[in-house]
């Protein structure tokens, strides 16, 4: 049944493209997203903890050992739920798109279908195919419907938009190339050339093979997860993308990268994390290298966000910082740290969606500026108080206040890090503080700026119903997970303890 999340999205895309009116395309897109979410929810309701649900398994190209194998464990299901939520919210926040509406939603749903496909694939090659499917529509969404960066005027605007789109596509493909190389190496050594995850986790690859292939695959996926120093596509891409695409990029597409790191690199090549036996520049294993890069990302992303003038760049860099927590959690190699990493994927997906919704849809689409200096005198809290309220709550969630999902996630990552990477925890703590500083700076500049009383307030259109619904949906999710984290932890933890991840805990250092 879960497979229909993919098929429905493809069908929905087709229907949107063919629909005669814009209004109909919107409704069709929303219904499609809703149906996908409903399918994940029904699965959640019937879920027994720890199960591995095989959805479809048919031979595809038997000569090459490829099969069309869809399955879901708790981690997949968590991210499927996130995809459904982000898709619905994104559509609600692009209700006002008038330019080539049908095509917009068609591309959008193809992207969603690809994302669903990645999260459901239990065959390495199939995962790669869906991963590539998801890249193409991203390019068009940004290149056609993207917004211009704040310092672009006139004809330059289009060029910069295309620059961002092209940069994102090139980075994605460069990452994919690394993954492809790694996949080919795995294929060559896999027994019977069988690339299904179950077979690969049981195969034992030689240690030095894993040591060389693991970083290729991990790095390839980590590019899309925004790992420093390969993150630079993210802020430009986020800032140039239309709101819904930013929400999906930060909310879901970056999770594709992190998911790949966990599901492919770490699950299939756990030996790559083992110590090398020698030291280079003080690093004794890939784990140390990537953990340090993750922490640099946390601090660097936050620090750069602190000095941005463009509202969307602030949030773009905040994504880099928050994704650093995902990667750090993965590198802790402890149950609690990995659990935190997956929760952070979910949490950041929801929160980044909210932040981009406020920055892109509620503020930029109304004021046509994203410059903090220009927004500050508008005192938007008095003009669009709803947006201010949403941003305050989203900001609180983003800086990891307890009660919101971000707290539970970062909390677990940090506990895991105290166990195995204690020297990095204070650095991450500094990153959290800088994160608080930039979030609060953006909040006060955009909404609580200081203006003389005689400056007229700009007349802006009121917040529409779809925007309110989308905000409430995302806020509800971050609060539900924040106050009752078991709802997801009971999915994630048993999955991490399943035999699929045996190699990780046995092969990896405690």
Partner 1 sequence: MITLLTLLPILGGLLVLVFGSTREMARLIAALFGFTGLILSLLFWYALDPNLPGMQFTQYHVWAPSLGIEYHVGADGLGVLMLVLSALLVVFSLMASWANEKLGRTYFALVLFLEAGLFGTFTALNFVHWFLYWELSLIPAFFLVRIWGGPKRARAANQFFLYTMVGSVALLLAFLALFLATGTFDFLELARQAHSGRLALELANNLPWFRGEAVGPLLFWAAFLGFAVKTPVVPFHTWLPATYAEAPSETTMLLTGAMSKMGVYGFLRILLPIFPQEMQHFMKPLLWLAVATIVLPAFAAWVQKDLKRTFAYSSINHLGYCVLGVCVAAQLTGTAPHLAAERAAALTGVLLQIFSHGLTAATLFWFIALLERRTGGLRGVEDFGGLRRLVPVFCGLMGIAIFASLGLPGLNGFPGEFLIFKGSFPLAAVASSVSVLGLLLTAIFLLTVIQKVFSGPVNPRWEAMPDLTTTERVALFPAIALMFVLGFYPQLITGMVHGTVMQWIAGGGL
Interface residue list for partner 1 (CB under 8 A)? 336, 392, 396, 399, 401-403, 408, 411-412, 414-415, 418-419, 422, 425-426, 429, 432-433, 436-437, 440-441, 444, 448, 450, 484-486, 489, 493
Q: How far is 361 from 136, CA to CA, in rounded Å?
A: 24
Per the CB < 8 A criterion, the answer to whether 324 and 228 are in contact is yes
Report the residue number, 189 or 437, with the smaller CB distance to partner 1.
437
Query: What is the token pair recorded at 502?
Result: 């045996």
Q: Residue 371: exposed, middle, or buried by beta-carbon count in 10 A (0-12, 13-18, 19+)?
A: middle
Which string of b and e fits 375-389 if b means at least 16 CB within 10 Å? bbebbbbebbeebbe
C-beta of 184: minimal distance to partner 1 in Å? 39
Report the residue number, 247 or 399, with the smaller CB distance to partner 1.
399
C-beta of 386: minimal distance to partner 1 in Å? 12
Report the residue number, 193 or 441, with the smaller CB distance to partner 1.
441
C-beta of 363: minimal distance to partner 1 in Å? 19
Report the residue number, 23 or 451, with the smaller CB distance to partner 1.
451
Report the residue number, 261 or 399, with the smaller CB distance to partner 1.
399
Q: How far is 391 from 490, CA to CA, in rounded Å?
A: 30
Write the DSSP string, 217-236. Answer: HHHHHHHHTT-TTS-THHHH
C-beta of 391: minimal distance to partner 1 in Å? 13
Question: Token match 């279908």: residue?
Answer: 113
Cα angle vertex 305, ends 417, 241, to 5°?
A: 105
Report the residue number, 98 or 450, with the smaller CB distance to partner 1.
450
Radius of gyration of the chain (CA): 22
Give the total residue count for the chain. 510
C-beta of 46: minimal distance to partner 1 in Å? 23
C-beta of 351: minimal distance to partner 1 in Å? 16
C-beta of 381: minimal distance to partner 1 in Å? 8
Per the CB < 8 A criterion, the answer to whether 265 and 218 are in contact is yes
Q: How many CB atoms lie within 10 A of CB 188?
A: 9
Query: What is the token pair recorded at 415?
Result: 């506990």
Report the residue number, 239 or 496, with the smaller CB distance to partner 1.
496
Report the residue number, 230 or 391, with the smaller CB distance to partner 1.
391
For 107, the enclosing helix (H) or strand (E) is helix 101-120
CA 310 → CA 15, 39, 87, 300, 491, distances in Å?
36, 38, 25, 17, 38
C-beta of 469: minimal distance to partner 1 in Å? 19
Specify the 3-state DSSP secondary structure of 60: strand
Specify the 3-state DSSP secondary structure of 100: coil
C-beta of 486: minimal distance to partner 1 in Å? 5
Report the residue number, 153 or 510, with the smaller CB distance to partner 1.
510
Instruction: Supply the DSSP symbol for 424.
Output: G
Query: What is the token pair recorded at 9?
Result: 């999205």
Report the residue number, 3 or 436, with the smaller CB distance to partner 1.
436
C-beta of 249: minimal distance to partner 1 in Å? 29
Q: Are strands 66-72 and 53-61 parallel, antiparallel or unpaired?
A: antiparallel
Q: How far is 296 from 428, CA to CA, in rounded Å?
A: 8
C-beta of 401: minimal distance to partner 1 in Å? 5
Ramachandran assignment for 100, one of left (phi > 0), alpha (psi -120 to 50 degrees), beta (any other): left
């Amino acid at each position: 049944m879960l497979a229909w999340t993919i098929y429905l999205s493809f069908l929905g895309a087709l229907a949107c493209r063919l629909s005669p009116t814009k209004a109909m395309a919107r409704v069709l897109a929303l219904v499609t997203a809703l149906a996908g979410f409903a399918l994940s929810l029904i699965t959640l309701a019937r879920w027994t903890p720890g199960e591995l649900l095989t959805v479809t398994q048919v031979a595809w190209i038997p000569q090459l050992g490829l099969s069309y194998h869809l399955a879901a464990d708790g981690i997949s299901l968590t991210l499927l739920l996130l995809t459904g939520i982000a898709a619905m919210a994104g559509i609600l926040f692009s209700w006002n798109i008038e330019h080539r509406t049908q095509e917009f939603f068609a591309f959008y749903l193809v992207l969603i279908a690809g994302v669903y496909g990645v999260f459901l694939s239990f065959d390495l090659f199939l995962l790669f195919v869906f991963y590539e499917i998801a890249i193409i529509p991203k390019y068009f969404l940004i290149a056609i419907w993207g917004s211009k960066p704040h310092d672009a005027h006139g004809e330059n605007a289009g060029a910069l938009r295309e620059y961002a789109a092209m940069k994102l596509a090139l980075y994605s493909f460069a990452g994919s190339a690394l993954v492809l190389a790694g996949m080919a190496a795995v294929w060559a050594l896999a027994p019977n050339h069988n690339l299904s995850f179950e077979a690969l986790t049981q195969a034992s690859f030689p240690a030095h093979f894993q040591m060389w292939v693991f970083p290729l695959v991990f790095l390839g996926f980590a590019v899309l997860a925004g790992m420093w120093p390969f993150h630079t596509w993210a802020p430009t891409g986020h800032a140039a993308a239309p709101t819904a695409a930013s929400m999906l990029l930060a909310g879901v597409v970056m999770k594709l990268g992190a998911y790949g790191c966990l599901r492919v690199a770490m699950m299939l090549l756990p030996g790559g994390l083992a110590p090398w036996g020698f030291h280079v520049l003080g690093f004794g294993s890939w784990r140390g290298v990537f953990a340090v890069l993750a922490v640099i990302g946390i601090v660097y992303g936050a620090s750069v966000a602190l000095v941005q003038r463009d509202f969307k760049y602030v949030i773009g860099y905040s994504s880099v910082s928050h994704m650093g927590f995902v990667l750090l959690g993965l590198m802790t190699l402890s149950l609690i740290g990995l659990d935190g990493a997956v929760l952070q994927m979910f949490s950041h997906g929801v929160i980044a969606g909210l932040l981009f919704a406020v920055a892109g849809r509620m503020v930029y689409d109304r004021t046509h500026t994203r410059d903090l200096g220009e927004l500050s005198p508008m005192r938007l809290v008095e003009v669009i108080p709803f947006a201010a309220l949403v941003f305050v709550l989203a900001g609180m969630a983003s800086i990891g206040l307890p009660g919101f999902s971000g707290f539970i996630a970062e909390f677990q990552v940090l506990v895991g890090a105290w166990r195995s990477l204690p020297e990095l925890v204070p650095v991450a703590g500094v990153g959290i503080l800088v994160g608080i500083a930039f979030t609060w700076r953006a909040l006060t500049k955009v909404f609580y700026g200081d203006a003389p009383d005689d400056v007229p307030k700009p007349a802006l259109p009121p917040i529409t119903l779809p925007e309110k619904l989308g905000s409430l949906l995302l806020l509800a999710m971050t609060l539900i997970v924040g106050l009752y984290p078991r709802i997801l932890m009971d999915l994630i933890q048993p999955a991490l303890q399943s035999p699929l991840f045996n190699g990780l805990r046995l092969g990896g250092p405690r």
